[in-house]
Amino acid sequence: MFARLSGQPVPGKDENIPFLVTFGKDGKTSWGDADFYQIFFFSILKDFTQPIYIRVFDPDCGGEYDEIQDEFNTKTKFSVYGGKGVDPEKNEESRGLLKGLNYKSGNLLASKIFGNDAKYDNKYYTFGPFNPSEGDFNTRWNSYIFKIVCEGISGDDGNLYRYFLSSDPDNNIPIEGANAFTYAYHFRMWNDFKSVSHIYPYIDTGIVYIRQSNFDWDNDGNILVVSRYKQGVSVPISNEDNWIFSKIPIEPAEVKSSLDFQFHKRQDELVKNNNVVITLENQRGDAVKFFSSPIGGVPVYQPKVGYEKVKPKK
Amino acid sequence: MVKRILNIITFVLIVLLVSFQTKAQQPSVYEVKRMSFSSNGFSDISPVIVKDGIMFCSNRRFSGITDRTAFDGRRLYNIYLAEKKDTSAFRKPRILKSERSDKFNNGPLCLAPDGKTVYFTSEVETGEITTEKNFKNHNGIFIADLSGTDLISLRPFKYNNPQYEVGQPSVSKDGKYLFFASDMPGGQGGSDLYYCELINGEWAPPVNLGPKVNSSGIENYPYIHPSGRLYFSSNRPGGIGNLDVYYTSFNNGSWEDPVLLPKPINSTSDDFAFVAEDNLQTGYFSSNRRIEDNIYKFTSTIIRKASCDTLVDNNYCFRFFEENAVKYDTMPFRYEWKFGDGNNATGPVVEHCFSGPGTYLVQLDVVNLVTKEVTYNEKTETLVLTEIEQPYISAPDKIATGQRIKLNADSTNLPGWKIARYYWNFGDETIAIGKNVDKSYTKSGTYNIQLIVSAEPEPGGVVKYACVSKNIIVFRQP
């Protein structure tokens, strides 16, 4: 499924998202984080047998990039899980969408808590090495699945960070055929008018429509859904500290391909440091995955003009 | 003297030529010919076209020894079948016998759509004995099953009545309507035409066809053609002879004014019992134009194509749409169309009429209302518009009776054709030849005009033709 993909920066290159964001649990949801944790999954093809590393850029909460509230007092915990219970297709709790359920399922392989620590500011911290077989094997994808959970365990600041799945502990070396995905995307919007961020949900077999939920968008521009068959369907966006929902019908031809959710910034007034959350579920209520590298590539709209004869108006 | 003779010859030649040209301008519509099996000395009437030949009625001898007669001494009519020998010749007619053959007149008749049920006219018995000299049994309709050359299982039609005439049946192609003639009380006078509708397997009470069809004179010998035209005979004023053949059609809830068939089907004598093949090009009728009743075959010289395309107006109007855009109402885009003829329109769905044939490059520019970006020529389509290849009838859709109109075929578009002839069939048994013709209708109704265009013969003698038709409504001039 991911055979032609390589490179697992999270957020992905095509997503053009500056940072993931997780606030300390004492933060306010109006600042852009609905639940103070974020879960990502990495998949590594069974054929890849070399050690893997999960690198976290700017894991601390202080210094550059991070969002301060009065003073930096936040501790963020990054935990890597493997083994049984991790694969979210087999274990729904692992997706982390249902509060109170154990999204930390699986074997804890590594964990580290970061505070306001200049040592890790604007730098990478590397988890690993991990043997790929330590992941939870998914037969459909023929891949091992790892999970990384970021929790804001204390404080109220916003930790902005990125991941890279690498075959090297000190450099970002992509792993052929690997990918990363999540079910709830918490991220930072750009602080300029022009930059457009994207996320790429994968439309699996059987999906007839998707229900999108977005949180705390602060009316910052427009969300357009693009595919080969959608030039740009407008999706309603949320305001400060609230959720908004809408349905997007799926054409049969869109199944087994990715949609492109485009986030266009508001043009009349620059909204800065905007942190947002978006989730998708299908008509059955099952969460839909967002892949860092869009499955099938970035969808490009294919215009289709039709015409037919009509009776002349007399 | 010689000069005078030459002048006379020249004059005669001119007269002959003018006469010939006049005839060529108004070609005869029908040719008629007496059928070979129609006998001398006997009366042969009421032909019916059947699969194997023609059924008809005749008072000819059906036995070499005896000559069956009615009580008044007149020879009895019986039903005969003249089977086809080949495409033009018929075998000697054979009688279709029934239990009534020896005692009563049998016929006219018709065959039901099943090809096995025969409806025929015959006398209704009163069951009473009379010594009245001029006594005559009235006719009724009888129904029988055809078994070989026998008519079996006879049963009377439920509306037979010994007090009046009921006869000359004709069943419609779908078997749902039985037309017949009767002088039953309550008609328009004389013999009238009636029909019964088959409802739940029973013939509903007779319905008089009304004053448009039935006059105060005689209407008889109805024949419902598969096309729906009802042919019949009438001695109403305005005909050519005594009984003449007319036809009418049921349109928009009423019978149209009857149309008199031209000579030589109608003559100064009695012409009646008309039947025709499906294409109306050939058929049969009875006439006493040679004193005796005989059966005649007619062949129409009018060309009328059974298969003829309906005229299609050239139309250069189109609806353009961005197929995916029309599915969603939350698309923040503006669609700007350029039609390649200098005209533009905006919207996900637009309509435009081009002025005529040509090649047009239709372009779609899309403005993203979120980013304000414009995608020029996001999609282009080349439209090649041509006139429809067909003969073309230029004529009004509606005219009044008596109104003379001009019809033309100037817009005919048949590329590569060397057109030899434009032939117009006006749908009222009249024709004209030429690219531009005149026409008026005397009767109101809906007429189907056919324009048949034929090309110069191709090598090998093949002549190709094309046909279009158009309906024209003729309303009565107030």
CB contact under 8 A, A304 and B383: no
Report which of A207, A18, A47 is spatially closest to residue A132, judged by C-alpha positions. Answer: A47
Q: What is the pLDDT of residue A216?
A: 84
Residue B215 clears pLDDT 90, i.e. is over it? yes
| Same domain assignment for residues B287 and B369 | no
Q: Which of B385, B414, B439 is the last residue of a domain?
A: B385
Mark which of B251, B267, B300 sits at the end of a domain.
Answer: B300
Say whether A309 and B317 touch across the interface (CB within 8 A). yes
Quote the CA–CA distance of B178 and B191 in Å, as a whole number: 16
Mark whether B334 and B210 lie in a shared domain: no
pLDDT reported for residue B21: 35
Closest residue to B368, CB basis, from A232, A249, A312: A232
Distance from CA of B364 to the nearest CA of A (A): 8
Q: What pLDDT does residue A26 have?
A: 93
Confidence of residue B179 (pLDDT cuts 50, 70, 90): very high
Find, among B366, B335, B379, B338, the residue nearest to A303 by Cα.
Answer: B379
* Closest CB from A221, A305, A309 relative to B322: A305
Range of the domain at A168: 8-291
The C-alpha atoms of residue A166 and residue A126 are separated, in whole angstroms, by 9
Region B228-254: what's the mean pLDDT? 93
B1 in a structural domain: no
Residue B284 sits in the same domain as residue B368: no
CB contact under 8 A, A304 and B322: yes
Three-class SS state of B182: strand
Contact A307 B324 (CB under 8 A): no
Q: How far apart are CA B375 and CA B131, in angstroms?
A: 105
A299 in a structural domain: no
Query: Is A305 part of any domain?
Result: no
Domain final residue, candidates B300, B328, B343: B300
Dump pLDDT digits (tens) for A270-311: 888 888 888 899 999 888 999 998 988 899 888 888 999 998
Rounded to the nearest angstrom, the minimum Cα separation between B451 and chain A is 24
pLDDT of residue B321: 93
Locus of tokens 């409802």: B199
B126 and B255 fall within a common domain: yes
In this structure, are B440 and B321 located in the same domain? no
d(CA B225, CA B172): 7
Q: What percent of chain B has pLDDT over 90?
A: 65
Whether residues A307 and B318 touch (CB distance < 8 A) is answered with yes
Return the percentage of chain A with pLDDT > 90, whole number. 64
For residue A1, being part of any structural domain is answered with: no
List residues of A whose CB lies inside 8 A of any B CB. Answer: 196, 221-222, 224, 229-235, 249, 264, 301, 303-313
pLDDT tens digit string along B96-112? 999 998 888 999 999 99
Residues in chain B: 478
Distance from B91 to chain A by nearest Cα, in Å?
Answer: 58
**How distant is the Cα of A233 from the closest Cα of chain B, in angstroms?**
5
**Are B322 and B280 found together in one domain?**
no
Whether A167 maps to a domain, the answer reads yes
Residue-wise pLDDT tens digits, A210-256: 999 998 888 888 899 999 999 889 999 988 888 899 999 999 999 99
Domain count along chain B: 3
Average pLDDT for residues A116-143, to the nearest whole number? 94
pLDDT of amino acid B28: 57
**Cβ contact (<8 Å) for A307 and B320?**
yes
Q: Which of B318, B370, B378 sits opposite A303 (nearest CB)?
A: B378
Q: What is the pLDDT of residues B399-412, one digit of tens each?
A: 999 999 999 999 99
The verdict on residue B161 lying in a domain is: yes
With CA atoms as reference, the chain A residue closest to B328 would be A233
Q: Is residue A3 part of a domain?
A: no
Spatial CB neighbours of A178, under 8 Å, sequence gap ≥ 6: A2, A5, A6, A8, A42, A43, A44, A45, A48, A52, A143, A165
Q: Is the residue at A261 inside a domain?
A: yes
Is A234–B381 a contact, with Cβ atoms under 8 angstroms apart? no
The minimum CA-CA distance between B176 and chain A, rounded to whole Å, is 38
For residue A80, the distance in angstroms to the closest alpha carbon of chain B comes to 40
Q: Are A125 and A55 in contact (CB under 8 A)?
A: yes
| ipTM (interface pTM) | 0.74
**Position B421 confidence tier, pLDDT thresholds 50, 70, 90:** very high
Q: What is the mean pLDDT of chain B?
A: 88
What sections of B150-229 are H helices per DSSP?
none
Contacts for A206 with CB less than 8 Å, ≥ 6 apart: A255, A282
The residue-averaged pLDDT of B352-379 equals: 89
Considering the domain architecture, whether residues B290 and B332 belong to the same structural domain is answered as: no
pLDDT score, position A6: 43
Among residues A149, A138, A143, the alpha carbon closest in space to that of A54 is found at: A149
Residues on chain B bordering chain A, Cβ-to-Cβ distance under 8 angstroms? 315, 317-325, 327-328, 330-333, 351, 353, 362, 364, 366, 368, 370-371, 378-379, 381, 383
Which residues in chain B are closer than 8 Å to A304, comparing Cβ atoms? 322-324, 379
CA distance A195 to A267: 11
Domain range for B321: 315-385
Specify the range with the lowest mean pLDDT, choosing from A63-77, A79-93, B129-143, B277-291.
B129-143
Sheet containing B349-353, strands listed edge to edge, beginning at the edge strand earlier in sequence:
A305-309, B317-322, B349-353
For the cut 70, the answer to whether the pLDDT of residue B1 exceeds it is no
A314 is a domain residue: no
Find the closest chain B residue to A306 by CA distance: B321
The answer to whether residue A158 sits within a structural domain is: yes
| Nearest CB to A222; choose among B321, B332, B383 | B332
Q: What is the pLDDT of residues B112-160, one digit of tens each?
A: 999 999 999 999 976 666 667 666 789 999 999 999 999 999 999 999 9
Residue B122 lies in a domain: yes
Output the pLDDT for position B205. Answer: 97
Q: What is the CATH classification number for the domain harbouring B343?
A: 2.60.40.10
Within this chain, do residues B291 and B179 fall inside the same structural domain, yes or no? yes
Are B374 and B403 in a shared domain?
no
The tally of domains found in chain A comes to: 1
**pLDDT tens per residue, range A37-59:** 999 999 999 999 999 999 999 99
Average pLDDT, chain A: 90
CA distance A261 to chain B (A): 14
For position B129, what pLDDT does the model report? Answer: 65
Residues B182 and B259 in one domain: yes
Interval B247-269 mean pLDDT = 90
pLDDT given for residue B68 in this prediction: 61
Per-residue pLDDT of A230-242, as tens digits, reads: 988 999 998 888 8
Confidence of residue B26 (pLDDT cuts 50, 70, 90): very low
Query: Looking at residue B319, what is its pLDDT?
Result: 95
Give the mean pLDDT of B74-82: 90
Do B41 and B138 belong together in one domain? yes
